[in-house]
Each structure stands twice: as structure tokens, then as C-alpha cells.
Amino acid sequence: MKFLMPFAVSACLFLSACGGDDSTEASQDSSSTEAEASLETIDEAMTKINDAFDAGDCETVAQVVNRTTSGLYEKADEPPKELCAAYEENLVPTLDEVEFDRSQEFGPAALIEGEPPKSEKDAVVYVGVVLRDPFADDEWTYAYGNGDTIEQIDSEAVDPEGNQETAQDFVDALESKDCDALAATIHPTTNAYPGGDPKELCTTYFDGQFGKAYENGGTIEPLGGTIDYAFYTLTPEDGSRSDTMILFIDGDSEDGKMAVVDVLPTPEPEE
């Protein structure tokens, strides 16, 4: 099973602390509720994503692709030519045949499903991962997906304790700077594992913002999952940021364990 994920870039997002007297907290709660009500719904997002891939031009597609997995860190009127080439080669030919019409949310992440394209001959459904994108006004944006032989929406999560152990091992490896331990948690198809070389992977994480943020460790919180996917919130010990981790079943492992596909920034909460 192959992920259709042309890019993978990690970023960080810092959280704002909330506090104050009861009246301030009540005002914040009210503002937060209003902000949540104004956020794009997953149904609206599926329509937007379907329309964008039907259109197929780079500028339109770029607006619905997750900024941290595409390398776009802001809305671009003219996406770089290399991104357009990747969209045309990898995304559009597959997704212009898919009509996403089912979904399941896991906090700032969600799965969407539709009938598979003809190119995915063994697939029963096509599954997409979408995320609330802090670089796109917290709208849902498309991260990646794949043809699947099993329907994911509302399917039963498998081995949640084992998945949680993998997620925690990832965070612990960032703290200890243990390259072998980190590599053992990463899914073999992810672009975060460039060229299959653990040394490059460790450089990406240890020398980047993740390594600095989690140098003193961190905690994980389960967001839920399905038969093939699991989602977690990661928070460093100092509480300075929050990230969303995505795990996916590793078909090459002997016990069918899940492994880390990506870790992406969680939108900053409204004050």
C-alpha cells in the first residue's frame, strides 16, 4: 500500500497561554465558541477539495493542499513550478476521479473517503488525510492519501496501546537523540525518511525545530483512530507548542504495527 504524499516538511507552532479571572475566562470561552462555529466544516472541505481536483490547475489545487506537507508556508498566488509539476504528476491524475463523500474527525485531523479511481485496481475506497492548517486560516487542507482495501470510516481501532507506545517512543527518541530508536518508529513510505537513510532522518529531526522543542521530552494524548490509522497530540514538557502525529499501518512489519507517517503543527487555539 503506497501513500500518495509528494512532500513532507515539518514546522512548529507556539501556543498562547490562557488565564485570568472568571469574567476573562468566560469572555475567552465565548470567543472560542464563536471561532469554532465560524471554522470550515468537514463537509464544506470535502466539497472544496473535490472541486479543486476536478479543476486540476496548479493554482487551484495549491489552495487546498496542506502547507506543511506541500512546502507552501503561506498562500501563494503562483506556486513554484516544481510544486505544479508534482501536483500534475502525482495528485491530479488520481484525485480528479475521486469524489470524497464520507468523513470521520479526530480533533485537528480527519479522514475522508470516496470511491477509488480506476488506477487503484485493488482498492475498495480511496482514503485522504486532511488537517486543520494553521497556514491557511485553520481551514481543512489535504495532506495525502492512498487506495485502501478496507473502509476506514468508523472502523475499529487496532492495538491502541501498541500505537501509543510507538508514538511515545518517537518523542523519547527526540529527547535522547537516539537515531536508531527514532528510525524504528518511522513508516518506510514517509518522505520524512529521505532516501531511506536514517542519518538524513535524524538530521531532519534532531537539528530542526522538533529536536529543540522536544529536547526535554514531552507527552502524547490519543485523538482516536481506525483500523489502519491513529492520531495523537504531542506537547513538549514546557507546553510551548502542540503537534499532531499521524500513524499508519506498516504492511512490511511482521506484527502489522503502525508507524509514524508525519508530525504536523496543530492550529493555535483562539484566545
Answer yes or no: are the C-beta atoms of 157 and 224 closer than 8 Å: yes
Same fold, 22-148 and 160-265: yes
Length in residues, the chain: 271
CATH class of 160-265: alpha beta
Residue position matching grid coordinates 486543520: 132
User: How is the chain split into domains, by residue range?
Assistant: 22-148, 160-265
Q: Among 3.90.380, 3.40.50, 3.10.450, 2.60.40, name the CATH number for the domain at 22-148.
A: 3.10.450
Q: How many C-beta neighbours within 10 Å does residue 131 have?
A: 29
The whole-model pTM stands at: 0.82
Tens place of pLDDT per residue across the chain (271 aa): 445 543 333 322 211 222 234 444 444 444 444 455 578 999 999 999 999 999 999 889 988 998 777 666 555 567 777 788 888 888 899 999 999 999 999 999 999 999 999 888 899 999 999 999 888 889 999 998 899 999 999 999 888 889 999 999 999 999 999 999 998 898 877 655 555 566 777 888 888 888 899 999 999 999 999 999 999 999 999 999 999 999 998 876 666 689 998 888 887 654 4
